[in-house]
Amino acid sequence: MSEMVDFPPKTIEISLWQDSTPVDILHEIFDWLSYFAPSEPRSRAVFPTWLHPIHVCKSWRASAMSYSPLWRYLPLENYGMTKMALHLSRPRTVIIDLRPDLLDSVDNCEDMATDDLVSRTFPPAALQLAFRSLRRAEYLSMPSYSGSLRSIRDVMVEPFKFPKRLLHLELWGWCIDTDWDSYSLIGKMFHSRTVPRLRSLRLVAGDVPVYIPVPLLNRMTSLTCLELSHERPVWMSLLQLFATLRYMTELEELVLGGSTFPRRGTIDPGRAEENNLVHLPHLKRLSLAGNEVAACRFLEHVDMPVCQYLSFLLDDDTELQTLRDAQLDVHEFEAAELWVNWGVDIPPLAKALEDAFGSRHTDGQPAIYQLTLISDSEDSAPSWVSDLYQFRTTLSSFPLLGRLNLTFLPETVLGNGLWQSVETPAPLTLPHLTHLSLEGPVELLLAWNSMIDSPSCSYKAFSVCLPHGGRIPDILEDTSGSATSFETVIRELISVPVGAQVSSSYTDLYVVAGSLEEYPRIVATKPVHLENGKSNTSLPHIIDLTLFRFSSTEDETRESERLGMVRVALARALKVIPLSAVDSVHLAHPMAGDEDVFYDALALPVQTARRLVLRYRSGPAPLALTEVMRFSQPGRLEEILLSDLAEEELVEKLVMLSASAAVPSDRVNRRPLTVRIERCKHGARMRDVLSNNPAIEVRWDRSDECLLVEGWRITERPWVAPFDRRTMFWRDEDVWVP
C-alpha cells in the first residue's frame, strides 16, 4: 500500500516588467513626465499626471519618492501633496506656478469671477505653505495683486526681496483694488546677483499702470524671454527701447503689449543704418502692440535672423494719447511737439515685412512660419487691409508660411460698404499653410479667403461679423438676386464642396462659446468618407466657425433681436456642414438649446451620436437631454456626460430618463447606458435618480460644487481659443493636428 506524500505548494513568482526597470530608465521617464507639468490644466479633482509613477507599483513608488527633480513642480491644488513635494524636492529649487491660463476659466484675466475660481483651485493653506519656502523658488508665477488669492503684496515684508536663486519671474493680475491700483517693480526687490542671472520676466497687468525703471531692465542681460503688458509706458521712445535691447542679446521671445511699446509721437529714430542696427541673433518670437509706423521702424532697426513667429496688434494711438491715458505729465511732450517729428519714408507694414524677411535664406526653413496681424484701428483700415495687392506680394515672399491669422474689427466702419470697393487679387497658393484663422466682416473674409489658396490647410477658423441692419435671410442678397446666399458664403469659407454632404461627414461636433461668450462657436473635426470610413476626404480636418454681430450707434437693434439674427445664422450654418455621421456631440452654448436651432439643425447629428456632452450654465440642458433620448437611435447612444450644470429642473428631466420608457427596450441585454456626472450642483440627487434603472450605469465624481462661472472657457481640447490672445500666437499645446 503506497503512502500518500504531501508536497509543499510550489510558489509561483510573477515578475512584472515594471519591477525590473533600471533606475536610470525610471529617472528618464520621470523627467519626461515632469516636462509637461507646466502646461497641464489645473484642477483639485484630478491627480497630477506627472506624479502618477507613485501609483504604478512599489518599485516605481520607491524610486519616485527618492528622485527629487520629480517633486520640484509643486502640486498646489492639494495641501498634503504640496507639503510632500516641498520635503521630497530638497535640496533642489522649486517651481511655484499659479498661472490662470491653465485653469478651466476665461481667456481674459481681468474677470473677477476668474479670480474667485483661482482662489478655489489653490487652497489658502497650500499657498501659505509654499510661500514660506519662497526662498527656494527658481520659477515664480503669482498675482501681483488680487482680490481673493494671495498675491505679491500679501507676502511682502519690509524689506521684500525676490529669492536669490530666482531665474523665472511671472507676475499677473486682474482684480483692481482701490488701495492697490498700481505696481512698481524696482531694483530693491532683487538681490544684486539675481538681476543679471534672470532668464525670463513676464509682467501682465491688464489696464493697471506698472512702473519699471529702465536701468533695471538694462541690467537683465541674460533674459531669454521678456513680456510686458500693462498701461504705463516703459520707454519714452524707440531709441530708449533699442538701447535696452542691445543689452539683451540672448532674447528668444519678446512680447510688448498694452502701452509698453513706444507709439508714434516720440522722436523718430530715422532709417536704420548698418552702424545703428540692434542685433538679436536668438530671437524666435516677436509680438508687438502699437501703431503701424512704430512697428515698421522696429522692423527696420532690429536684426532678427532666426525669428519665425511674428505678431502685431495695431492701433491709431500716439505716444501723447498713451501718456494721457496713463495719467502722466505730458507738458514736456506738448511743448516740444515731439509727436510730429516723424519722417515720410516709412513703408506700410506689409512692405516692411517683405523688406525685413523676404530675402532671408534659411536652408529650406520658412523665413516666417507664423504671422498674426490684428488691427484695432477705428478711423481707417491698415495697409494690409486697404491694399490687398501689396499684401499678396508680401505673402508671396513667404511660400513656406505655416500659420496665418488675420483680424480686422473696427466697429466704426463695419457695415458701411467699405469692403465692397476692395478688389480681390488673383489667388496665391501657399502650399505649406496648415492653420488659417480669419476674423472680420463677411465681405473682407471672402476677399481674404479667395486670395489665399491653401491646399494643405488642415485647420480653418473663421470669425464672421454679420453686417448691421436687415434680416439674416437677405443678409447678402440684393433686390436683383445676384448676390451670394448666406449658405453659399459659409460653404465657400469653410471649403465644403456642394456634394460633400453626400459623400463625407464630420464625426465630432462642438457648439460652444466663442471669444464673445454670448455668441456661438461651431467646431467640426475628424471628417470621414461615408463609403469606406477613411479620412481621405476633400474636407478640412477641422472647421472652426464663430458667428457674432456688433451693435453701433446707427444700429438701434435691440440685444434680443441681434442675438435672434445670430441664432438664425447658427441654424443655417449648421445645415451647410456635413454632419450625417456624427459620433460625438458637445453642446455647451445656450443657442444650441433653442428649439428652432435644435430641431432644424442639431436633431440629425444627435440622432446618430454615440456620445453626448452637455455643459451649460442654465437654460437649454433639460431640453437637449430630453430630446436626445427621443431622437437617439435604439442602442446607438452609449454615453452622456453632464458637466458644470446648476439648474434644478434638470433633476426632473433625469427622472424621465431613468424611467424604463426613456431607455430603449433592447438595451436590457446590451451594454448599459453610461451617464457621467461631473461638477454639477445637484450631482448627488442626479446619481440617486439614475441609479434606480439597471440599464443605466452612473458615474459621479462626488462633487456638488459647480465650478462654472460667468465668462468660463475650457482649456481642454478642443475648447481652447484658436490662438492665445495674450501673446497673439497659437500655443503649441493648442494647435490641432489631424
Separation in Å, CA 527 to CA 273, 578, 625: 53, 9, 26
Q: What is the DSSP letter of 102?
A: G
pLDDT at 336 over 90: no
**Residues in CB range of 148: below 8 A, 6 or more apart:** 115, 116, 118, 119, 175
Could you tell me the three cell numbers for 99?
498661472
Give yes or no for a contact between 676 and 712, defined as CB atoms under 8 angstroms apart. no
Indicate the pLDDT class of residue 106, thresholds 50, 70 and 90: very low
pLDDT at 630 over 70: no
Tally Cβ neighbours within 10 Å of residue 685.
Answer: 16
Q: What is the DSSP letter of 531?
A: T
Closest CA to 200 of 225, 221, 234: 225
Distance from the Cα of residue 473 to its chain's centroid: 33
Looking at 21-25, 194-198, 294-298, 540-544, which range is the least confident one? 21-25
**Rounded Cα–Cα distance for residues 436 and 455 (Å):** 11
For the segment 510-518, the average pLDDT, to the nearest whole number, is 74
pLDDT by residue (tens digit) across 338-364?
444 455 556 788 888 888 887 776 666
pLDDT of residue 222: 93
Separation in Å, CA 725 to CA 9, 109, 312, 373, 633: 67, 11, 11, 12, 41
pLDDT of residue 30: 83
- Burial of 145: CB neighbours in 10 Å, binned 0-12, 13-18, 19+: buried
pLDDT by residue (tens digit) across 388-433?
888 898 898 888 898 998 988 765 444 444 445 457 888 999 999 9
Greatest Cα pair distance in the chain: 125
Separation in Å, CA 505 to CA 228, 582, 600: 44, 7, 18
Separation in Å, CA 410 to CA 379, 414, 416, 551, 552: 8, 6, 11, 12, 11
Check residues 641 and 101 and name the one with the higher pLDDT: 641
**Rounded Cα–Cα distance for residues 295 and 241 (Å):** 12
pLDDT at 282 over 70: yes
Q: Is 283 helix (H, G, I), strand (E, B) or coil?
A: coil
Could you tell me the three cell numbers for 297?
521702424
Prior bond of 578 cis (ω within 30°): no
Q: Give just the sign of the alpha carbon dihedral 341, 346, 350, 353.
A: negative
pLDDT by residue (tens digit) across 156-183?
666 778 888 999 998 877 544 445 556 6
C-alpha angle 439-445-447 in degrees, rounded to nearest 5: 150
pLDDT at 265 over 80: no
Q: Are strands 504-513 and 520-529 parallel, antiparallel or unpaired?
A: antiparallel
DSSP strand E in 238-293: where?
253-258, 278-279, 285-291
pLDDT of residue 621: 58
Indicate the pLDDT class of residue 149, thresholds 50, 70 and 90: low
Give yes or no for a contact between 305 and 249, defined as CB atoms under 8 angstroms apart. no
Give yes or no for a contact between 734 and 727, defined as CB atoms under 8 angstroms apart. no
Torsion of the alpha carbons at 703, 705, 708 and 709, rounded to the nearest 10: -160
pLDDT at 712 over 60: no
Check residues 224 and 591 and name the one with the higher pLDDT: 224
pLDDT of residue 718: 41
**Rounded Cα–Cα distance for residues 77 and 47 (Å):** 9
C-alpha angle 725-730-732 in degrees, rounded to nearest 5: 135
pLDDT of residue 80: 86
Which residue(s) pair with 372 in the sheet? 311, 405
Check residues 423 and 93 and name the one with the higher pLDDT: 93
Give yes or no for a contact between 293 and 317, defined as CB atoms under 8 angstroms apart. no
Mean pLDDT of the chain: 74
**Rounded Cα–Cα distance for residues 659 and 526 (Å):** 34
**Residues in CB range of 265: below 8 A, 6 or more apart:** 318, 319, 320, 321, 322, 333, 338, 339
Check residues 626 and 107 and name the one with the higher pLDDT: 626
Q: Which secondary structure element, helix H or strand E, spans residue 309, and what is its range?
A: strand 309-315
**Rounded Cα–Cα distance for residues 587 and 602 (Å):** 10
pLDDT of residue 302: 93
Q: What is the DSSP letter of 618?
A: S
pLDDT at 186 over 70: yes
pLDDT at 254 over 90: yes
Give yes or no for a contact between 377 and 315, defined as CB atoms under 8 angstroms apart. yes
pLDDT of residue 601: 80
**Rounded Cα–Cα distance for residues 491 and 500 (Å):** 10
**Rounded Cα–Cα distance for residues 40 and 558 (Å):** 42
pLDDT at 110 over 70: no
For the segment 538-546, the average pLDDT, to the nearest whole number, is 83
Backbone φ, ψ for residue 508 (5° rounding): -120, 130
- Burial of 126: CB neighbours in 10 Å, binned 0-12, 13-18, 19+: buried
pLDDT at 23 over 50: yes
pLDDT of residue 1: 40
Indicate the pLDDT class of residue 588, thresholds 50, 70 and 90: confident
The predicted model scores a pTM of 0.81
pLDDT of residue 670: 59
The amino acid present at 591, given as its one-letter code, is: M
pLDDT by residue (tens digit) across 461-487?
888 887 665 455 444 444 444 456 778
For the segment 486-508, the average pLDDT, to the nearest whole number, is 77
Q: Which secondary structure element, helix H or strand E, spans residue 491, and what is its range?
A: helix 486-493
**Rounded Cα–Cα distance for residues 615 and 624 (Å):** 11
Specify whether the backbone of 226 is left (phi greater than 0), alpha (psi in -120 to 50) or beta: beta
Tally Cβ neighbours within 10 Å of residue 381.
Answer: 17
| Runs of H (alpha helix) within 109-259 | 112-121, 124-132, 152-155, 214-218, 238-245
Residue with cell 505716444: 319
pLDDT by residue (tens digit) across 672-711?
788 888 777 777 888 888 887 777 888 887 766 555 443 3
Looking at 273-287, 413-427, 503-517, which range is the least confident one? 413-427
Highest mean pLDDT among 99-103, 222-226, 615-619: 222-226
Indicate the pLDDT class of residue 244, thresholds 50, 70 and 90: very high
**Rounded Cα–Cα distance for residues 528 and 612 (Å):** 19
Prior bond of 159 cis (ω within 30°): yes
